[in-house]
Structure 1
């Protein structure tokens, strides 16, 4: 028979148990009808206590941190033939964005304001470059610079 305990304790109590290297007793009510009788079923010891401040997105940004956005596009055959509209890579002649383009644009439109150079490295994998399948290649065609082919 498994017994489940619900423990209500404050963070201060857990910290105290850790500092004092003491435990606290866990009781369950007796099966008898008298409420004052309790049975000891175990003890709780806090072996380690660590309190950390949880920073928010706003904390990071207001402190000057920047976010970087890297684009990675899957060109493997499982995405379908890019000449057909059911492919994730299909380029619609009407200009409608495909799923990849929409996702990149939507995330990029938010992230751009938190990246001072607003340059986003874009990589592909599983596609054919120079006649061979490559597992990692720059989408801008440069063998070296992943962010921009045009130097300022």
Structure 2
């Protein structure tokens, strides 16, 4: 992006007019022509699609593990599809804000588990230190 000279074209009054994917497409297009723009656009679409499929599968398998049932999978697929559709038609910033909030909420169960495991971890650490002292 920097070496293609595109940054000089898209900065107006100190503000970047193009950002993200459009900026990358413009940079590739300036160097490789239309095939460069198509390369980035197709790569981006394939990456986005495979990411959606990967997260759906990951979430489905996690739900199956937590519920010990495969019947919840269809419900999850429907909810995931609705959320993915809403994410596609909503404003870019709103979709990212919601994704950031949901990712941050994953801290809660992890923090609870870490707090609950402090006692057993401390006990195991003491046992390990005793074994090391005995072997020396």
How does the TM-score come out when normalised to structure 2? Answer: 0.25
1 or 2, which has the higher helix percentage? 2
Q: Larger relative CO (CA 8 A, sep 6+): 1 or 2?
A: 1
Give the greater-gyration-radius structure (CA). 1
